[in-house]
Amino acid sequence: MIKTVAVSVVIPLYNEEESLKELYNWILNVMKANLLSFEVLFIDDGSTDNSWNEIVELADEHKEVKAIKFQRNYGKSAALQKGFERCVGEVVITMDADLQDSPEEIPDLFAMVKNEGYDIVSGWKKKRYDPLTKTIPTKLYNWTARRLSGIHLHDFNCGLKAYRKVVVKSIELYGDMHRYVPVLAKYSGFTKIGEKVVQHQARKYGTSKFGLNRFVNGPLDLLTVVFMGRFGKKPMHFFGAIGSLLFIIGFGLALYLFIDKAIHLYQGNAARLLSERAEFYVSLASMIIGSQFFLAGFLAELIGRSSSSRNQYLIEKEI
């Protein structure tokens, strides 16, 4: 008989050798104190330090430790995706390996998912130990994410989150999409998304692995996620609507110009050549761009119909 695991803790890491044993012992003490069965999955994202050897030693001593090492650094999304594929716990907890996420939060996060029925509970580091150069852009980024996604979370990028197992098995992460797991989950039908204020620890070892490029890539990834969620299965609804509107505007303006010239000629008045009027080129450009948008939507529909995932829908219950 296979024993049920209550909690899977998925920890992506890159060059965090100093903190791994301390983090695992902290998790172990919390789980024992709360009588929770668990597994810890360390996903080594191509570390170049001694991180993997530290994980091997932990795995030799503790049967709860599982680990994967990537050949090179692929990014946090790839590490989380592989952890989600391998985890078996009823509730999945994600956290960073730098000791800035406190394992003491795990029991409460577990209870919110298990007992209160949340699909996702996201941590909110209300009080942060970060410089203003990081906190101010983060606030702006979170405000934008709330507006575009319709999900009212204060801290989308918090690594400490809890999920029902079915959620992590139903989504696919790639690129830098780890920031938008709640958005991906929402578009997959998991709408009960909660938030919990969590403690933010000051970094004890090493340095941050994220650069300023995330403030550029983050909004672009958000637009991708929102667009794919809304129009991924029906691209013509987006491209076709814009294309049709532009074509109608351009055609209407061109028709007005022709009628206006015809009236002037009928009345015997001198009429300017259409090629001398700026409105003619505006109408021409609108019709051309509108046709291109419509064609893009048509091609996207053809590609979508030949995709292997076109009819993949999540079934919640079946009799």
Mean pLDDT of 236-245: 86
Mean pLDDT of 214-227: 68
If pLDDT is split at 50, 70 and 90, which confidence band does 312 have?
Answer: low
State pLDDT tens for residues 205-218.
666 655 556 656 66
Is pLDDT larger for residue 53 or for residue 235? 53
Task: Tell me the β-bridge partners of 122.
Answer: 161, 195
Is pLDDT larger for residue 228 or for residue 67? 67
Asked if residue 18 has pLDDT above 70, the reply is: yes
Q: Kindly state whether residues 103 and 184 are assigned to the same domain.
A: yes
Residue 315 lies in a domain: no
Residue 314 lies in a domain: no
Q: Kindly state whether residues 48 and 162 are assigned to the same domain.
A: yes
Asked if residue 35 has pLDDT above 90, the reply is: yes
CATH of the domain at 178: 3.90.550.10
Task: Give the domain-ending residue among 183, 205, 231.
Answer: 231
- Please report the pLDDT score of residue 86 as a whole number: 92
Q: Kindly state whether residues 213 and 300 are assigned to the same domain.
A: no
Chain centre to alpha carbon of residue 192 = 16
CA distance linking residue 269 with residue 264, whole number of Å: 5
- Please report the pLDDT score of residue 148 as a whole number: 80
**What count of other Cβ atoms lies within 10 Å of the Cβ of residue 115?**
8
Say if residues 80 and 45 touch (Cβ distance below 8 Å): no
For 44, 99, 162, the CA distances from 17, given in Å and listed in that order, are 10, 12, 25
- Please report the pLDDT score of residue 1 as a whole number: 47
Residue 2 lies in a domain: no
State pLDDT tens for residues 71-120.
999 889 899 999 999 999 999 999 999 888 999 999 999 999 999 999 99
Residue 173 lies in a domain: yes
- Please report the pLDDT score of residue 311 as a whole number: 47
The parent domain of residue 272 ranges over 235-305
- Please report the pLDDT score of residue 126 as a whole number: 81
Residue 256 lies in a domain: yes
Q: Kindly state whether residues 53 and 142 are assigned to the same domain.
A: yes
State pLDDT tens for residues 134-173.
667 778 878 888 888 888 888 888 889 999 999 999 888 8
Q: Kindly state whether residues 183 and 301 are assigned to the same domain.
A: no
Q: Kindly state whether residues 25 and 121 are assigned to the same domain.
A: yes
Asked if residue 308 has pLDDT above 90, the reply is: no
Q: Kindly state whether residues 78 and 219 are assigned to the same domain.
A: yes
Angle at 167 between CA 31 and CA 27, to 5 degrees: 15
How many Cα atoms within 13 Å fall on the side-chain side of residue 85? 11
Amino acid (1-letter code) at residue 301: E
CA distance linking residue 120 with residue 189, whole number of Å: 12
Is pLDDT larger for residue 31 or for residue 227? 31
Q: Kindly state whether residues 31 and 119 are assigned to the same domain.
A: yes
Q: Can you read off the two tokens belonging to residue 30?
A: 């919390």
Which of 35-49, 251-265, 294-308 shows the lowest mean pLDDT across its residues? 294-308
Q: Kindly state whether residues 151 and 290 are assigned to the same domain.
A: no
Say if residues 200 and 123 touch (Cβ distance below 8 Å): no
Residue 60 lies in a domain: yes
Asked if residue 280 has pLDDT above 90, the reply is: no
- Please report the pLDDT score of residue 70 as a whole number: 92
Q: Kindly state whether residues 28 and 104 are assigned to the same domain.
A: yes
pTM of the model: 0.73
Residue 78 lies in a domain: yes
Q: Can you read off the two tokens belonging to residue 218?
A: 């983050």
Task: Give the domain-ending residue among 201, 231, 261.
Answer: 231
Task: Give the domain-ending residue among 191, 216, 231.
Answer: 231
Q: Kindly state whether residues 135 and 188 are assigned to the same domain.
A: yes
Q: What's the 3-state SS for the chain?
A: CCCCCCEEEEEEECCCCCCHHHHHHHHHHHHHHCCCCEEEEEEECCCCCCHHHHHHHHHHHCCCEEEEECCCCCCHHHHHHHHHHHCCCCEEEECCCCCCECHHHHHHHHHHHHCCCCCEEEEECCCCCCCHHHHHHHHHHHHHHHHHHCCCCCCCCCCCEEEEHHHHCCCCCCCCHHHHHHHHHHHCCCCCEEEEECCECCCCCCCCCCCCCHHHHHHHHHHHHHHHHHHCCCHHHHHHHHHHHHHHHHHHHHHHHHHHHHHHHHCCCCCCCHHHCHHHHHHHHHHHHHHHHHHHHHHHHHHHHCCCCCCCCCCCCCC
Task: Tell me the β-bridge partners of 65.
Answer: 40
Please tell me the total count of domains within the chain: 2
Is pLDDT larger for residue 287 or for residue 260? 287
**What count of other Cβ atoms lies within 10 Å of the Cβ of residue 89?**
22
- Please report the pLDDT score of residue 60 as a whole number: 93
Residue 318 lies in a domain: no
Phi, psi of 67 (to 5 degrees): -155, 150
- Please report the pLDDT score of residue 216 as a whole number: 63
Q: Kindly state whether residues 89 and 223 are assigned to the same domain.
A: yes
If pLDDT is split at 50, 70 and 90, which confidence band does 7 have?
Answer: very high
